[in-house]
Amino acid sequence: MPDPRVIVVGAGAGGLAAAADLARRGARVTVLDRAAAPGGKMRRVEVDGAGIDGGPTVFTMKWIFEGLFADAGRRMEDHLELHKAEILARHAWRRGGRLDLFADIERSTEAIGDFAGARDAAGYRAFCKRSADMYRTLVGTFIAAERPSQLDLVRRVGFGNLDRLVRTSPFATLWSSLGEHFSDPRLRQLFARYATYVGCSPFLAPATLMLIAHVEQDGVWLVKGGMRRVADAIRELAESQGAVFRFGTEVRRILVARGRAAGVELADGERLEADAVLFNGAPDALAAGLLGDAARIAAEPVPRLERTLSAVTWCVNAPTEGFDLEHHNVFFAEDYAEEFDAVLRRRTVAAAPTVYLCAQDRGAGGRPEPGVRERMLLLVNAPPDGDRGALDPTHVAGRTFELLGACGLSIRRDEGAEVVTTPAGFHALFPATGGALYGRLGHGFNGSFSRPGARSPLPGLYLAGGGVHPGPGVPMATMSGRLAAARLLEDRAGRRRSTIAFRPGR
C-alpha cells in the first residue's frame, strides 16, 4: 500500500504531535493553519515589545513529550530547556493567609501544618496518597489509551481490580471529597481549582480530578522561551520527519467523496486531495458546519449550557509591588460556590473572581528588579457566551484588580502595556465555541466519557485536540494527537485495537 497522504487541519499541540508521528511512520503529511505560527491555544501575545504566553502556562506530564521525541530517535532535552519548579504555586486569600505548595510533599505538609494545623497536614498526606492511587489506576487505562466506554474501562482495569476503580471516586464530587481531607475551607478551595484545569465546577466535577495533584507533584516545569517554544520544538520534530507546514492558510471545508474524507478546500479555492484528514480543532466547528455540511456528522453539537468555562485574560507588561510573586500565583476571595454560580448559572463574572497570575519572568532563579516591568498573564473565569454579546472588560478589570489589591499586590497598568481577551475574543480565535476553552463540560460520572474519540463518524476523518479524549491541557492534547495518528495508521492497515501502547509515566 502506498504511503498515505494526510492533511492535518490545525497546528495546535494535537496536530503537531500527530504530524510528527504520521510523518515518522511514512505518511505524506501537510499541516494547514490559518494562524501565522504553530501552537493553537499556546499563543504568544505581543505587548509593548514583549512576547507573553497568552494561553497555557503549565508544563506537566513530561513523559508524554519525552516519548514523542524518543520514538523519532531524538532526545527532548536537546530541543527544550526545562527547569523544574520547586514552588508549584503561591496562594493568597483576600481575608488573610498565604500558602506555597511545593514539588516536595514533605515541604508542603509542613507548610500546610503551619497554615491550617496538624489535622489538615495529615489530611494532605492522605490526599496525596489517594491522588497517586487514582493516577496509577487511570494513566494507562484511560489517559494513554483510546477513548473507552465505561465497560471498556472496567475491562482494562480488570474485573478483579474493581476496588481500584471504585477508589477513583467517580460518583463523588471533587468538592465533597476534599472535605474528607481538609477542614480549612481555604484548602478545599485551593485543591478544588483542579476542576477549572478542565473548565469545570468543583461542585459538579468528579473527585477523580484529584489525580491532578499527583501530576503536579511529579513535576511542574518552566520552559525557557515560554510555552510557544514547545510548539516550535514539536513542529521542528515533525519537519525533520518530512511533514510540510503551511501557515496563513484557512480551510473552508473538508471534502467528502464516496462517503469518506478525501481532502480539503481552502479559502482561496485551492483543493488538496488526501487519503485521510486529521482535524485538530474544536469539534464544535465541525458540528456547526464551519468545515462544510458534509463534515457535520463528524461531531455532535455542544449545547451552550454544556460548554466549559471561558475566561477574561490580561497580558500585561508592567512593574509590580507589595506582593512577592512566584511564577504561578492564585488569589482567592471567600465564596467559591458563588463564583461558579455566577459563571455557569447567572452567566456573568463573579463580583470577586479567583485570579490566576503567571509571572513569566520569575522562577528558575529569575526575579525582576523592583520597579522593572515584568511579563504577566492574568486570568479569571467567565461564561462561554462569546457568541451572544460582548462582556465589558473594564467592569471585570475593576473587580479583578481590586481583589489583587486586597491581597497586597499592586500592578501599574500603563496605557498600551496590556492586551485583554474576552470570551468574544476567544470565540473569534476558536469559532463555534462561544469562547469555551476546554471543550464539553465533564460534570458527573459520565463527564469523563463525554468527549469524542480519535475516530469520527465520518470515515477518513480523525479528531485531536483539547476537546477530544483524553481532554484539555497541552499534555492531554498532545496525547490526543498521538492516539489519532495511531488510530489512523491502524485503520489504513486494517487492524483494530482497543488500546494503543504508549509508555505512561509513573
Q: Which residues pair with 247 in a beta bridge?
A: 33
- 28-33/5-9 β-pairing: parallel
Provide the pLDDT confidence category of residue 163 given band limits of 50, 70 and 90: confident
Specify the pLDDT at position 499.
Answer: 42
Provide the pLDDT confidence category of residue 258 given band limits of 50, 70 and 90: very high
Q: Which residue has the higher pLDDT, 1 or 220?
A: 220
Provide the pLDDT confidence category of residue 23 given band limits of 50, 70 and 90: very high
State the Cα–Cα distance between residues 41 and 437, nearest whole angstrom: 9
- Contacts of residue 162, defined as CB under 8 A and 6 or more positions apart, other chains included, come to 154
User: Which value, to the nearest 10 degrees, does the dihedral of the CA atoms of residues 188, 194, 196, 197 take?
Assistant: 160
Provide the pLDDT confidence category of residue 156 given band limits of 50, 70 and 90: confident
**Cell numbers 464530587 label which residue?**
173
Which helix H or strand E contains 228, and what residues bound it?
Answer: helix 228-240
pLDDT in tens, 107-118: 999 999 999 999
State the Cα–Cα distance between residues 390 and 386, nearest whole angstrom: 7
Alpha helices in 347-457 (DSSP H): 393-406, 423-429
Specify the pLDDT at position 158.
Answer: 74
Q: What is the mean pLDDT of residues 357-378?
A: 92
Q: What is the mean pLDDT of residues 405-413?
A: 96
Nearest to 285 by CA among 479, 436, 476, 134: 436
Alpha helices in 336-473 (DSSP H): 336-340, 393-406, 423-429
Specify the pLDDT at position 150.
Answer: 67
Range 179-184, long-range pairs (CB < 8 A, 24+ positions): 180/123, 181/120, 181/123, 181/124, 181/126, 181/127, 181/130, 182/116, 182/120, 182/123, 182/124, 182/127, 183/116, 183/119, 183/120, 183/123, 184/115, 184/116, 184/117, 184/120
Specify the pLDDT at position 498.
Answer: 38
Please give the distance of CA 261 from its chain centroid, rounded to a whole number: 28
**Which three cell numbers mark 240?**
525533520
Provide the pLDDT confidence category of residue 502 given band limits of 50, 70 and 90: low
pLDDT in tens, 66-100: 999 999 999 999 999 999 999 999 999 999 999 99
Specify the pLDDT at position 155.
Answer: 73
Whether 355 and 380 have beta carbons less than 8 Å apart is answered as: yes
Whether 474 and 230 have beta carbons less than 8 Å apart is answered as: yes
Q: Which residue has the higher pLDDT, 148 or 343?
A: 343
Nearest to 478 by CA among 56, 149, 141, 132: 56
Whether 319 and 384 have beta carbons less than 8 Å apart is answered as: no
Specify the pLDDT at position 501.
Answer: 56
Report DSSP letters for 46-58, one per residue. Answer: EETTEEEE-S---
Nearest to 55 by CA among 435, 336, 373: 435
State the Cα–Cα distance between residues 461 and 298, nearest whole angstrom: 8
Whether 3 and 222 have beta carbons less than 8 Å apart is answered as: no
Provide the pLDDT confidence category of residue 412 given band limits of 50, 70 and 90: very high
Q: What is the mean pLDDT of residues 306-319?
A: 97
Mean pLDDT of the chain: 93
The answer on pLDDT for 405 being more than 80 is: yes
Backbone angles phi, psi at 276, to 5 degrees: -155, 155
Provide the pLDDT confidence category of residue 153 given band limits of 50, 70 and 90: low
- 276-280/461-464 β-pairing: parallel
The answer on pLDDT for 50 being more than 60 is: yes
State the Cα–Cα distance between residues 20 and 14, nearest whole angstrom: 10
Provide the pLDDT confidence category of residue 170 given band limits of 50, 70 and 90: confident
Which helix H or strand E contains 487, and what residues bound it?
Answer: helix 474-493
Specify the pLDDT at position 54.
Answer: 97
Specify the pLDDT at position 224.
Answer: 95
State the Cα–Cα distance between residues 462 and 487, nearest whole angstrom: 8
Domain annotation for the chain: domains and CATH numbers:
5-44+58-82+225-303+443-493 (3.50.50.60), 108-221 (no CATH), 305-429 (no CATH)
Whether 199 and 436 have beta carbons less than 8 Å apart is answered as: yes
Q: Which residues pair with 31 in a beta bridge?
A: 8, 245
The answer on pLDDT for 420 being more than 90 is: yes
- Contacts of residue 448, defined as CB under 8 A and 6 or more positions apart, other chains included, come to 142, 170, 206, 208, 442, 471
Share of the chain above pLDDT 70, in %: 95
State the Cα–Cα distance between residues 34 and 266, nearest whole angstrom: 10
The answer on pLDDT for 212 being more than 60 is: yes
State the Cα–Cα distance between residues 491 and 303, nearest whole angstrom: 31
Provide the pLDDT confidence category of residue 140 given band limits of 50, 70 and 90: confident
The answer on pLDDT for 193 being more than 90 is: yes
Nearest to 277 by CA among 254, 257, 296: 254
